């Protein structure tokens, strides 16, 4: 349980992010607080949102248990917390609401501005805990459980299954798919129609760094090709500890019979 | 938990009939079932005519009851079946290499071949000594303090042997500590037991599994390698500290929270120095000091306390001067408790690791409230809260305290000592000009504040503070 990650992107052409500033990434542990707003010399904020419509102290984020809470210090503005993977799912946090619990693993916090545009930042909560699949829900308190859990409905999980697919099907004991191959493989999936290579790469980074905290133990890290090290370590670990199993192959879109494979091998 | 996959329509839960034969053993009754195994009581089977007397068994074993731990593999993909086999292998290997009277003995292992019961065909069965009950059952029933010493001495004996043989248990908890019919205590469930490797044998790699309430702080952030997560004997020592607290605090963890996940977050806050360790007032002084040492926030701090050294402390522990519990509420008893607390805590720091990395506080102290009505309260009532000063050179007034309050029994991280601050007189007329600079949780408006020395009975060995600059 390492807490949450808050990311304020650099001001982009889409009018979101920190106007005029560089991107900011904060890592908060359980119990830690980050304030956001326009800030000033007397009202310091950890996350500076430089827009005249935003209060000096617009709100704060507090990490609690495996999730986080959002307090809205504005007296007039509601904030929206969107789940980018939730097909439009969002929460509205009304003015002066203290400590609203946010259930999403991925969130985009959106604050309105006067120009009809918005300022937004992202919050990742990778520590959400899932029960083990054997369904002994009632009394999990004292049970031995897998200490790493993945949301099997999340896009990153689809990417992980696609990464593991060749080995799960015992097709290729060595090869781990490349990013373009994953984009191609997931194209037929309803949620992945617009999945781009960059998104696949960031899902892989998120899995490796936040979800599974992949590391090659120092005394075993000798030699080998390092180029694909991260993907291979992800696949090796996910399969070895049963995080991805044969039954998860059903999550992938059906393979276009021989079509894709023929093209792959034909190259 | 072991990736059983889709269990709909499976007959895994269908109980085995009495008399069902498994190798040379037969089932008598179900004991328990968990995610990856079902445990039945059993006994040696009557020798069947066709296979009569192929092996001469120890007569004592002949009549003994056994536990049959059944690890099904059917319906599992090959990879998961291998993992179950790996679990069984750990148990068998550990028994072969590190058997000991304080570890549950493995009598036999059998693979079921029964095509008529698809769910059991191929299951691995570990045949073990039969225990009467677990430490959890005992905790639930309540344990007298005299028995606590024996129980924990025996746990430490088992752990000392395990660690000495180069293994970490990895899932130590009251459910996995068993009591035999004759009262003897044995550690069990070595499915996550890990052999120490590395050049100096200090750590091993375990599957990324465990019981949330007993995981040490470093596990919550441990990286996962292809061999698993790094685990060291100090993980078992942490679990021991949790259990010491549980036995005195009606089964409650020292970490607050309604769910294991919330308590895990509290463990992180404590380990990061943002929250003090709050030991329940019901834990007697000796055990309190022991628990605090077992629950040292980092592996390095905990490494100073081996199962062996803890065992020595428990064996040599001073017998409580009076049956304190019966006197609860009287002034005399509280004074006794306070005096014991001083002795035990000072000692715990004397044996603690004096070296410390830059991030480590120079010492720790336990807050002491001279008002004895407050010492017995654990509800953190505002009337019993104590303040921390912003500036120890200014009068100790309402304007000169930080928002955070502390209570009797809180453990604070100390950086240094100031000999000449504003003199403070407490409720019992004790007076001192000494102050300790203590750390505040991150997120506080300041990183440190000052505790008057009269508010602790400890004397942490910390460096002298530089003279503080005026705050205002």
Rounded to a whole number of angstroms, the distance from the CA of B210 to the nearest CA of chain A is 5
Rounded to a whole number of angstroms, the distance from the CA of B226 to the nearest CA of chain A is 5
Burial B34-61 (b: 16+ CB within 10 A, else e): bbbbbbbebbbbeeeeeeeeeeeeeeee
Helix or strand holding residue A185 (H, E): helix A179-186
Q: φ and ψ at A50, to 5 degrees?
A: -90, 80
* DSSP bridge partners of A101: A69
Cα angle for residues B282, B285, B289 (degrees, 5° grid): 110
Nearest in space to B372 (alpha carbons), one of B338, B415, B339: B338
Cβ <8 Å between A242 and B261: no
- Chain B neighbors of A212, CB-CB under 8 A: 224
- Chain A neighbors of B269, CB-CB under 8 A: 29-31
Average per-residue pLDDT in chain A?
83
Rounded to a whole number of angstroms, the distance from the CA of A32 to the nearest CA of chain B is 6
B36, B208, B269 member nearest A241 (Cβ): B208
pLDDT of residue A147: 65
Nearest in space to B41 (alpha carbons), one of B57, B25, B55, B61: B25
- Helix axis angle, A229-240 to A155-168, nearest 10°: 80
Cβ <8 Å between B223 and A213: yes
Instruction: Pull the structure tokens for residue B422.
Output: 């504003």
Query: CA–CA separation, A231 vs A33, rounded Å?
Result: 33
Residue B405 — pLDDT band, cuts 50, 70, 90?
confident
Kindly report the length of chain B.
472
Residue B326 — pLDDT band, cuts 50, 70, 90?
very low
CB contact residues (below 8 A), chain A span 128-167, against chain B: 129, 132-136, 140-148
| Choice between B75 and B338, residue whose per-residue pLDDT is larger | B75
A34-43, B58-67, B382-391: which range is least confident on average? B58-67
Rounded to a whole number of angstroms, the distance from the CA of A191 to the nearest CA of chain B is 24
Rounded to a whole number of angstroms, the distance from the CA of B174 to the nearest CA of chain A is 9
| Choice between A159 and B198, residue whose per-residue pLDDT is larger | A159
- Helix axis angle, B145-164 to B307-315, nearest 10°: 150
pLDDT of residue B2: 38
B3, B259, B269 member nearest A30 (Cβ): B269
Nearest in space to B241 (alpha carbons), one of B325, B168, B307: B307
> What is the residue-wise DSSP string for B1-19?
-------TT--TTSPPPTT
Cβ <8 Å between A144 and B1: yes
Share of chain A above pLDDT 70, in %: 80
Alpha helices by DSSP H, chain A: 155-168, 179-186, 197-206, 229-240, 259-266
pLDDT of residue B257: 92
Query: CA–CA separation, A7 vs A108, rounded Å?
Result: 9
pLDDT of residue A257: 54
Nearest in space to A1 (alpha carbons), one of A158, A184, A125, A173: A125
Neighbours of B437 (CB within 10 A): 23
pLDDT of residue A46: 93
For residue A172, pLDDT over 80 is answered with no
Cβ <8 Å between B268 and A146: no
Cβ <8 Å between A148 and B5: no
Nearest in space to B459 (alpha carbons), one of B436, B439, B438, B437: B436
Rounded to a whole number of angstroms, the distance from the CA of A88 to the nearest CA of chain B is 28
Instruction: Pull the structure tokens for residue B310.
Output: 């803890």
Average per-residue pLDDT in chain B?
81
Cβ <8 Å between A237 and B3: no
Nearest in space to B412 (alpha carbons), one of B312, B277, B223, B294: B277
Query: CA–CA separation, B153 vs B178, rounded Å?
Result: 14
Q: What is the pTM of this model?
A: 0.72
**A229 touching B (Cβ < 8 Å):** no
Strands (E), B349-391: 363-366
- Chain A neighbors of B220, CB-CB under 8 A: 1-2
**A5 touching B (Cβ < 8 Å):** no
Q: How many CB pairs under 8 A join A and B?
A: 152
Question: What is this model's ipTM?
Answer: 0.83
Which of A90-99, B55-64, B113-122, B410-419 shows the highest mean pLDDT? A90-99
- Give the 3-state secondary structure of residue A63: strand
Query: CA–CA separation, B326 vs B319, rounded Å?
Result: 16
Alpha helices by DSSP H, B228-330: 233-248, 260-271, 285-294, 299-302, 307-315
- Chain A neighbors of B226, CB-CB under 8 A: 216-217, 220, 233, 236-237, 240
How confident is the model over B249-288, as pLDDT tens digits?
A: 989 999 999 989 999 999 999 999 999 999 999 999 999 9
User: What is the CATH topology of the domain spanning A4-124?
Assistant: Tumour Suppressor Smad4 (2.60.200)
Instruction: Pull the structure tokens for residue A179.
Output: 């990013």
Q: Is the dihedral of CA B418, B420, B426, B428 positive or negative?
A: positive
How confident is the model over A203-252, as pLDDT tens digits?
A: 999 999 888 888 654 434 444 444 467 888 899 889 888 889 888 999 99
What is the residue extent of each domain of chain A? 4-124, 137-266
Cβ <8 Å between B211 and A144: yes
* DSSP bridge partners of A63: A68
Nearest in space to B402 (alpha carbons), one of B422, B385, B424: B385
- Chain B neighbors of A129, CB-CB under 8 A: 212, 261
What is the residue extent of each domain of chain B? 21-49+57-129, 133-327, 372-455
User: What is the CATH topology of the domain spanning B133-327?
Assistant: Transferase(Phosphotransferase); domain 1 (1.10.510)
> What is the residue-wise DSSP string for B33-96?
E-SS-EEEEEEEPPPPGGGTTSSPPPHHHHH--EEEEEE--TTS-HHHHHHHHHHHHHHHHHHH
Domain B21-49+57-129: which CATH class? alpha beta
Rounded to a whole number of angstroms, the distance from the CA of A109 to the nearest CA of chain B is 21
Query: CA–CA separation, B234 vs B295, rounded Å?
Result: 10
Contact indicator for A81, A91 with CB cutoff of 8 Å: yes
């Amino acid at each position: 349980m390492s807490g949450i990650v808050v990311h304020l992107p650099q001001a982009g052409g889409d009018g979101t992010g920190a106007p005029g500033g560089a991107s900011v990434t904060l890592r908060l542990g359980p119990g830690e607080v980050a304030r956001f707003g326009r800030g000033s010399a007397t009202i310091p904020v950890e996350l500076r949102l430089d827009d005249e419509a935003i209060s000096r102290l617009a709100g704060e984020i507090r990490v609690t248990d495996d999730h986080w809470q959002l307090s809205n210090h504005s007296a007039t503005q509601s904030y929206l917390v969107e789940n980018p993977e939730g097909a439009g799912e969002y929460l509205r946090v009304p003015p002066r609401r203290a400590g609203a619990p946010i259930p999403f693993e991925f969130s985009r916090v959106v604050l309105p501005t006067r120009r009809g545009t918005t300022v937004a930042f992202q919050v990742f909560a990778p520590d959400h805990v899932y029960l083990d699949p054997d369904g002994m829900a009632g009394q999990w308190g004292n049970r031995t459980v897998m200490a790493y859990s993945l949301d099997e409905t999340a896009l990153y999980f689809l990417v992980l299954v696609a990464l593991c697919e060749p080995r799960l099907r015992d097709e290729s004991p060595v090869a781990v798919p490349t990013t373009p191959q994953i984009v191609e493989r997931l194209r037929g999936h309803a949620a992945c129609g617009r999945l781009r290579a960059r998104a696949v790469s960031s899902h892989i980074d998120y899995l490796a760094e936040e979800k599974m905290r992949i590391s090659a133990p120092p005394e075993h890290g000798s030699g080998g090709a390092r180029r694909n090290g991260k993907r291979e370590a992800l696949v090796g670990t996910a399969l070895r500890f049963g995080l991805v199993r044969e039954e998860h192959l059903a999550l992938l879109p059906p393979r276009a019979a021989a079509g894709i494979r023929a093209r792959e091998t034909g190259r | 938990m072991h990736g059983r996959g889709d269990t709909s329509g499976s007959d895994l839960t269908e109980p085995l009939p009495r008399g069902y034969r498994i190798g040379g053993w037969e089932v008598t009754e179900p004991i328990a079932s968990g995610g990856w195994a079902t445990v039945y009581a059993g006994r040696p089977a009557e020798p069947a005519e066709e296979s009569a007397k192929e092996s001469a068994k120890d007569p004592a074993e002949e009549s003994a009851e056994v536990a049959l731990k059944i690890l099904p593999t059917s319906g599992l993909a090959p990879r998961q079946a291998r993992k179950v086999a790996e679990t069984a292998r750990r148990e068998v290997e550990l028994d072969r290499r590190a058997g000991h009277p304080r570890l549950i003995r493995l009598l036999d292992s059998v693979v079921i071949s029964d095509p008529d019961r698809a769910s059991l065909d191929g299951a691995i069965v570990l045949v073990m000594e039969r225990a009467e009950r677990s430490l959890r059952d005992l905790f639930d029933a309540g344990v007298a303090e005299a028995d606590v010493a024996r129980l924990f001495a025996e746990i430490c004996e088992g752990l000392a042997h395990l660690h000495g043989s180069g293994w970490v248990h990895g899932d130590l908890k009251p459910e996995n500590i068993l009591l035999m019919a004759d009262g003897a205590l044995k550690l069990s469930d070595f499915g996550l037991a890990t052999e120490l490797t590395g050049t100096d044998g200090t750590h091993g790699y375990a599957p990324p599994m465990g019981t949330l309430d007993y995981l040490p702080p470093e596990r919550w952030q441990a990286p996962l390698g292809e061999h698993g997560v790094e685990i060291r004997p100090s993980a078992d020592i942490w679990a021991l500290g949790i259990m010491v607290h549980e036995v005195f605090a009606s089964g409650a963890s020292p970490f607050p929270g309604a769910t294991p996940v919330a308590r895990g977050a509290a463990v992180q806050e404590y380990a990061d120095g943002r929250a003090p360790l709050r030991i329940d007032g019901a834990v007697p002084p000796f055990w309190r000091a022991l628990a605090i040492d077992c629950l040292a926030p980092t592996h390095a701090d905990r490494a100073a306390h081996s199962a062996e050294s803890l065992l020595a402390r428990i064996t040599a522990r001073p017998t409580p001067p009076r049956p304190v519990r019966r006197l609860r509420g009287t002034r005399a008893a509280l004074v006794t408790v306070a005096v014991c607390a001083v002795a035990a805590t000072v000692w715990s720091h004397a044996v603690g690791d004096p070296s410390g990395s830059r991030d480590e506080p120079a010492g720790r102290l336990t807050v002491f409230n001279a008002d004895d009505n407050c010492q017995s309260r654990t509800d953190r009532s505002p009337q019993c809260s104590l303040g921390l000063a912003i500036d120890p050179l200014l009068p100790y007034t309402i304007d000169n305290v930080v928002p955070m309050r502390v209570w009797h029994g809180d453990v604070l991280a100390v950086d240094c000592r100031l000999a000449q601050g504003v003199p403070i007189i407490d409720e019992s007329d004790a007076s001192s000009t000494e102050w300790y600079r203590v750390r505040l949780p991150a997120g506080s408006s300041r990183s440190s504040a000052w505790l008057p020395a009269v508010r602790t009975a400890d004397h942490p060995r910390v460096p002298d503070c530089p003279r503080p600059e005026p705050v205002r």
